[in-house]
Structure 1
Amino acid sequence: MTGDTQEPQPAPSPTDPTRRRVVAVGAGALAVAGLGGGALAVDAVAGERTPATKDGLPEDCYVLTSETVEGPYYIDADKIRRDVTEDREGIPLLLGLKVIDAETCRPIRNAAVDIWHCDAAGVYSGYEGMGNGGGGPAPTGEPPTGSPTGAPPGGNPGGHQEPTDDTRYLRGTWKTDRHGHVTFRTVFPGWYRGRCVHIHTKVHVDGEWTDAGYEGGHTCHTGQFFFDEESVVATETVEPYASNTAERTLLSEDTIYDQSGTTGGLLRLRYDRRDITKGVHASLTVGVDPEATHDGQDAPPPPSASASPSAT
């Protein structure tokens, strides 16, 4: 089976409700090339040193990363790959994560990490029939000004939606190395009405990596990664983002982000402030409880915010 072939996803075994399987892709998808023409190695971002506190421990130790809702656009059994870009246009983004046990600060190796997010127009693969974040056709024209008002159009923000098509761009799964690092190559996400710019993630542990992908185990973390306003504003005048006319929700207005900085999933970003189109390096340490089960259905209620509620 090659990674370029869209085939029906294997069904879970009726005797094993925790069984989880993902479709492997060809070896060609494993090479994460330099970003924006530079010769950046795959682990360069993921291997950054975390700032230390006064007691010498990394600042991310002993802190659980916030749990959030799964959202309606998760698709299990995604492709095993680090480069999830496919044919999507946008600013190159290299996402480097380190997954640690928040209690011991030890890296978690061989965990399966999922990421998925919308494209520059706010459209999720697998759900193109639902348009821009579940709210109509992908927008075109000049971006709007002012704060968003009204409820997010269409969709089912609180529950899972069945896919409308077989596209799978900007989705992928990869395993952490012995240092807990995992890196994905993608593009800077766009936005849609009711949500700030974000990337979804899940971390699965205690499963088994096989030739077919990842099977079994349980989900110990369901979260989202967020982008600071300065970086998002820098994308607004760059195509294809400039053609996205959806009302944009600010980070401070979002109903999912808990405003707690890196604990809440706020990414550390590095890019050329003079030209963001050269590419963005994003990194974060994700502290999880490997013994817990957090599948996105048990997340706490979102914080109070001025934006319209949406769980996508």
Structure 2
Amino acid sequence: MTGNQTAEGPKHKKDLTRRKVVVAGAGAAVAVGVGGAVAAGAFAGEKSGKAATASASSTATGAEVCYQLTSETTEGPYYIDADKIRQDITEDKEGIPLTLTLKVIDSETCKPIANAAVDIWHCDALGIYSGYESLSTGGGGTAPTDAPSGTPTGTPTGEPPSGAPSGGTGGGGHEEPTDDERYLRGTWRTDKQGRVTFKTVFPGWYRGRCVHIHTKVHVDGEWTDAGYEGGHACHTGQFFFDEESVLASAEVELYSTSTTERTTLSEDTIYDQSGTTGGLLKLKYDKKNIAEGVLGTITMGVAPDETNDGT
């Protein structure tokens, strides 16, 4: 794949004035079982393609569309271009199983975008990024005196080291990998319905950022035996987790060992507080035992003719 691997700063408040929109989120999802098994039909209750277009035309006219453009964000410093073509990105990393089902649609036509290449990458349960372990600050090693709460005792101050994931903005220029690890990274193709599913673990957190997953959507390229080639990135964004789920994860072994102060969703400098449009995932899990696994779903409305590479 191709793409500019620099990021000058957050661009999470994309101008949407040229489109009048009706927001729609991901559809009904069934509960996930032990190990975060893929839940078939997670979007069964969601309209797509002609059905969605017909629904929109009955209530909208002119420039109105079915979905709002999903917010663009900075790429961040730790993107590695199309390094692993796979759906299961877990490798040997421990953590709460997470099955992430994404749907990519054209925000103007509401039609699913098939054969797009979707990247996701995120830190592990202790805030470490593969490929950049020496630059990741993460947190952990000894049990904290108190578990992370919904209201941190203070907001981190001062400027973080250049390029470190502890950066409060999540921006900064692209960093070259410092190691050969590639866990919790992967790229896969959307199907005819615009859907793609990844198996991973619930991310942890690091200083200055709330819990999140990075993503890119590439279109107009070609799938070959070597992977995905050419095309352009039409969307660069992040997925976010509500406070209830993060607080529940913080009680689970490994996450509970983190000694890093956590930034809440409302304090994050990248998340634009717009809910699903801003990348907030819809989550399903056993509220009494999140350790069994989590199912996350979201529909991304993108503009396939535009280039949004996170710079």
Aligned to 1:147, which of 149, 154, 170? 154
2:49 counterpart of 1:72: no
- Please say if residues 65 and 263 of structure 1, whose CA atoms lie closer than 8 Å, have aligned partners that are also in contact: yes
Aligned to 2:41, which of 26, 41, 44? 44
- Please say if residues 121 and 215 of structure 2, whose CA atoms lie closer than 8 Å, have aligned partners that are also in contact: yes
Task: Deviation per CA, 1:169-210: give whole Å up to 9, x if none.
Answer: 000000000000000000000000000000000000000001
Task: Deviation per CA, 1:32-90: give whole Å up to 9, x if none.
Answer: xx964379546433x3423899x944999231000000000101132110000001100
2:206 counterpart of 1:187: no
> Residues 39 and 289 from structure 1, CA distance in 2 versus in 1: closer, same or farther, beyond 3 angstroms?
closer
Counterpart residue number, 1:103:
108
Take 1:281 and 1:18, find their aligned partners in 2: how far apart are those partners? Answer: 30
Take 1:113 and 1:190, find their aligned partners in 2: how far apart are those partners? Answer: 22
- Please say if residues 203 and 212 of structure 2, whose CA atoms lie closer than 8 Å, have aligned partners that are also in contact: yes
- Please say if residues 43 and 181 of structure 1, whose CA atoms lie closer than 8 Å, have aligned partners that are also in contact: no
Matches within 5 A, 1:135-174: 140-142=142-144, 143=147, 146-151=153-158, 153-156=160-163, 157-174=171-188
Take 2:36 and 2:252, find their aligned partners in 1: how far apart are those partners? Answer: 23
**1:233 match: secondary structure:** helix
Q: Offset at 1:131? A: 2.8
Take 2:129 and 2:33, find their aligned partners in 1: how far apart are those partners? Answer: 24
The percentage of counterpart residues that share the same residue type is 63
Q: Offset at 1:139? A: 5.1
- Please say if residues 121 and 139 of structure 1, whose CA atoms lie closer than 8 Å, have aligned partners that are also in contact: no
Q: How many residues align?
A: 264
- The letter of the residue matching 1:67 is E
Take 1:272 and 1:102, find their aligned partners in 2: how far apart are those partners? Answer: 32
Take 1:39 and 1:159, find their aligned partners in 2: how far apart are those partners? Answer: 34
- Please say if residues 196 and 249 of structure 1, whose CA atoms lie closer than 8 Å, have aligned partners that are also in contact: yes
Matches within 5 A, 1:2-151: 36-37=33-34, 40-41=37-38, 43-45=40-42, 47-50=43-46, 56-57=55-56, 61-132=66-137, 140-142=142-144, 143=147, 146-151=153-158
Take 1:187 and 1:94, find their aligned partners in 2: how far apart are those partners? Answer: 8
Where does structure 1 lack aligned partners over 5 or more consecutive residues?
A: 1-11, 20-33, 298-312
**2:134 match: secondary structure:** helix
Where does structure 2 lack aligned partners over 5 or more consecutive residues?
A: 5-30, 60-64, 164-170
> Residues 257 and 243 from structure 1, CA distance in 2 versus in 1: closer, same or farther, beyond 3 angstroms?
same
Task: Deviation per CA, 1:2-40: give whole Å up to 9, x if none.
Answer: xxxxxxxxxx8xxxx779xxxxxxxxxxxxxx9643795
> Residues 163 and 39 from structure 1, CA distance in 2 versus in 1: closer, same or farther, beyond 3 angstroms?
closer
- The letter of the residue matching 2:215 is T
Counterpart residue number, 1:294:
308
Q: Scaled by the length of structure 1, what TM-score is found?
A: 0.78
Relative contact order (C-alpha < 8 Å, sep 6+): which is higher?
2
